[in-house]
Amino acid sequence: LQRIESLDPQILSYLAVNGEGALTAARNIDEKVAAGSGAALGPLAGVPISIKDNILTQGIETTAASNILSGYHPPYSATIISKLQDAGAIILGKTNLDAFGMGSSTENSDFHTTRNPWDLERVPGGSSGGAAAAMAASLCAASIGTDTGGSIREPAAFCGVVGLKPTYGRVSRHGLVAYGSSLDTIGPLTHSVADAALLLGVIAGGDRHDATSSHEAVPDYLKGLQSREQLSSKPLRGYRLGLIASTLDEGVDRPIHDNLQRAAQHYESLGAEITTVKLPMFREGLTAYYLLAVAEASSNLARYDGVRYGLRVPADGIKGMYKGTRSQGLGAEVKKRILMGTYALSAGHVDAFYKKALQMRKVVRDEMDAALRDVDVLITPTTPSTAFKIGEHTTDPLELYRGDLMTVNLNLAGLPGISVPCGFDDSHRPGHPLPIGMQLIGKAHGEADMLRIAHIFE
C-alpha cells in the first residue's frame, strides 16, 4: 500500500485502492495463523492481487473506467473474486482500463491514461493497461485482467510481464461487465509462468451462474510445470512448435522479428521441432473481430440507460433522461462502437456485415484448429510493435486496431494464449529498452501443455 501511495501518482495504474479492506483481510489471515488451529491456508494466502475495474467487487466501486458507471457499487462479487478470496488472496484495488475494455492503450479510460513504467511517455497497452503497469511497477503481486481481443496479452507484452488468456469458458464470466460476450475471457497477469499457472488453477472451473463456462476438470497447472532444474537438456524433444509465417512478415518491427527468430532457435536447442505454418486467413480475422465485437457491444451496452446503474442525468421525460445519461456518461470511442455495431446489426446490413463476419470467424477458427492438429502450440509475436507514445495513434484509430492483428483470432476461435517476455527493443532510444512479447497459442483446453512450453522458455 505504501508503494502504491508513493509510485502510483506517476503511473496511474489504479482507479481505486482498497486500503482498509486489504488490511482487514491481511489481519484475518495473521489471526488464523496465530490461532494455530492447523487449518490449511489457501494457495494464495496473503497474496495481494489487483483486479481490473470491469470485474464486480462487492463493496468496492466498479466503473469499467466509464463515467456512466461512476458511483456504482455492485451488490455482489464476480465468481472469480469469491474464488480468489476463498484461496486467501487479498484484493488490493481496482485497475484502470479503456472504458468497457474498448481499446489498446488505456487512452479510452474516462478517468486518466495509465503510464508505462518502462517509459512514462508511453502507453502501457490496453485494455488491461492498469493491470500490466501495476505488475511492471510491482504495485501488486499478481493481477486479474480481461481479454476480448488481446487485452491481457498486448499490455503484458508492452510492460514486460506474463499475460494468460484462457480457453473461452475455462473461467466464469459471472460478474464481468460484458463487452463482447462470445469473446470475453478473464485471466491473470503475473511475473512468471508459474504464477500464471497457480492463478489459473484458482479461478478456472465451471459455474452455474455462467452457462458458457466449461465444467471440464481443472488440472493442477502448477504441478504440470516441471522445475527447470529437473529438466533434461532436451526437455522439448517430441514437441512440435509452429511459427505462423504471416505474422513475421512486413508490418512487424525488425527487432521483434529478430527476437522471435532467436526464440525459435532457443526452442530448437531445447529439442523442439520448429515448423513454419502458412495460415492464409489469419490476417482476415481482424475485420471479423471488429464487426462482431462492436455488434455484441451495441447489444450489451443497451443496459446503461440511467435507470439501473450508476449515472442518471435527470430530464423531463424518460427519453430525455436516456439521452442525457448516455450522451454524458459514454465516451467517444464507446459511442462510436455502439453506432458501428448497431449499423452492422440493422435489418438492411446484417447479412452483408454481421453474418459475413460470423462466416469469417468460422473460417479463421477452422484454419487454426487444423494447424493445431499438426503442432502442439503456434507461435507469433504478441504485437507488431513495442509500446507506442501516448497520443501517437489518437488520430488514426485504424492503426490502433491493426495492432490487434496477432491477438484477436484466439478470441474468435476460443483458444488459449499466453504472452511471455521475449527480450527488449532499444532502437527507439538507445539505453531505454522496451519489452517485447512472444505469444504461444494452445489447443482448446490445452493450457497445461501451453504453460509448460512457456515455462521452459522463461
Residues in touch with ligand GLN (CB under 6 A): 101-104, 127, 147-151, 179, 293, 404
Q: Nearest distance from residue 297's CB to ligand GLN, in Å?
A: 8
The amino acid present at 66, given as its one-letter code, is S
Q: Nearest distance from residue 448's CB to ligand GLN, in Å?
A: 24
CB-CB neighbours of 399 under 10 Å: 13
The smaller minimum CB distance to ligand GLN, of residues 100 and 309, is found at 100
Q: Nearest distance from residue 171's CB to ligand GLN, in Å?
A: 14
The smaller minimum CB distance to ligand GLN, of residues 130 and 150, is found at 150
Q: Nearest distance from residue 294's CB to ligand GLN, in Å?
A: 8
Q: Give the sheet arrangement for strand 273-277, strand by strand.
A: 14-17, 90-95, 48-52, 142-147, 185-190, 162-165, 417-425, 434-441, 377-381, 240-244, 273-277
The smaller minimum CB distance to ligand GLN, of residues 103 and 117, is found at 103
- Among 13, 50, 52, 128, the active-site one is 52
3-state secondary structure of 317: coil
Please check whether residue 13 is in contact with residue 137, taking contact to mean a CB–CB distance below 8 angstroms: yes
Q: Is 346 in the active site?
A: no
Please check whether residue 178 is in contact with residue 62, taking contact to mean a CB–CB distance below 8 angstroms: no
Separate counts of helices (H) and strands (E) for the chain:
14, 11
3-state secondary structure of 254: helix
- Among 13, 127, 298, 385, the active-site one is 127
Question: Could you say which DSSP state residue 242 is in?
Answer: E
The smaller minimum CB distance to ligand GLN, of residues 149 and 166, is found at 149
Residue nearest to ligand GLN (CB): 151
Alpha-carbon distance of 222 to 409, in angstroms, equals 27
Q: Is 83 in the active site?
A: no
Alpha-carbon distance of 271 to 62, in angstroms, equals 47
CB proximity list for 215: less than 8 A, separation 6 or greater: 205, 206
Buried-exposed string 355-375: b where 16+ CB fall within 10 A, e elsewhere: eebeebbeebbebbeebbeeb
Alpha-carbon distance of 389 to 86, in angstroms, equals 40
Q: Nearest distance from residue 368's CB to ligand GLN, in Å?
A: 18
Q: Is 127 in the active site?
A: yes
| The three grid cell numbers given for residue 177, joined into one nine-digit string | 461487465
Q: Nearest distance from residue 333's CB to ligand GLN, in Å?
A: 8
The amino acid present at 24, given as its one-letter code, is T
- Among 143, 151, 214, 246, the active-site one is 151
Query: What is the CA 133 to chain-centroid distance, rounded?
Result: 13
Phi/psi for 393 (5° steps) reads: -110, 10
Alpha helices in 215-284 (DSSP H): 254-269
Q: How are beta strands 240-244 and 377-381 bridged, if at all?
A: parallel
The smaller minimum CB distance to ligand GLN, of residues 194 and 364, is found at 364
Q: Nearest distance from residue 124's CB to ligand GLN, in Å?
A: 13
The smaller minimum CB distance to ligand GLN, of residues 88 and 437, is found at 437
Alpha-carbon distance of 44 to 186, in angstroms, equals 18
Q: Nearest distance from residue 145's CB to ligand GLN, in Å?
A: 9
The smaller minimum CB distance to ligand GLN, of residues 235 and 381, is found at 381
The smaller minimum CB distance to ligand GLN, of residues 49 and 102, is found at 102
Question: Annotated active-site positions, please?
Answer: 52, 127, 151
